[in-house]
Amino acid sequence: MLELEGESKDMTVFFCDLKNFTGFSEQLSPKDLVSLLNEYFTLMTEILYRHGATIDKYIGDSIMAFWSAPVSQEDHARRAIMASFEMHEEIEKLSEDFIGRGWPGPTMGVGINSGEMNVGNMGSKYRLAYTVIGDTVNLAARVEAMTRIYGVPTIVGEGTASAADDVVFRELDTVQAKGKSNTSRIYQPICRKDELTEQQKNMLHQRRAAMDSYYAEDTEAALQAFTQLLADTDEDYYRYMIEKLSC
């Protein structure tokens, strides 16, 4: 069943890292910093493994993982989103524990994208790594960085949002991948459909109306809608959209 040579597959790729890591790493001794990272990596990796991920690599404070290789998984997009939900819950608990020890309390950003990508053993005669490459991977890395801009915990691409049909998403914006002429809509996963509350439904309805005005380039109506949503929720996302529309 294993295929480790190069192939093109429909898969899901996942990036996560700690927000403001550089800032709080300066507050810790080297020993404490290593302890913090090891606890964070251990907990997050356990969650990823439970959801069937293949761990690609650790990069500083970041984790890169993917689903559907070397063994195919039909529900790879859903697995990645469910893993992100659980990871955000656990990072909150871990953060409280760290604060209790006098350490900074980290938060985390997650970027996920699904689609065609190349997977296989890549490298040189000195070192090979089983990894994924391609535009789908590049967009996942980019949207992970955008979690800081939009003020949300997780951002996914269109491929992931369309493949996970039992998850509720809210649309965030349209972005252009670096070096590409085409644009892609990005989304935030909210919850499973069977967990959606009436309050969330109403908020998503208001949110859809605001996005319709935004895409119609009705700046005045969009600003009014986002301003009301900011007053109701105090979410950083709406603050960013207001600033974007006001420029």
pLDDT band at 117 (very low <50, low <70, confident <90, very high): very high
Least confident interval from 70-84, 167-181, 194-208, 231-245: 167-181
Domain ranges of the chain: 7-192, 197-247
pLDDT band at 124 (very low <50, low <70, confident <90, very high): confident
Average pLDDT on 182-208 reads 95
pLDDT band at 128 (very low <50, low <70, confident <90, very high): confident
Query: Could you tell me if residue 19 is left (phi over 0), alpha (psi between -120 and 50 degrees) or otherwise beta?
Result: beta
| 145 within 8 A of 32, measured Cβ to Cβ | no
Distance CA 120, CA 132 (A): 7
Average pLDDT on 180-191 reads 90
Between 42 and 124, the more confident residue is 42
Between 164 and 2, the more confident residue is 164
| 61 within 8 A of 21, measured Cβ to Cβ | yes
CATH T-level assignment (fold) for domain 7-192: Alpha-Beta Plaits (3.30.70)
pLDDT band at 26 (very low <50, low <70, confident <90, very high): confident
**Phi and psi at residue 82, to the nearest 5°:** -65, -35
pTM: 0.94
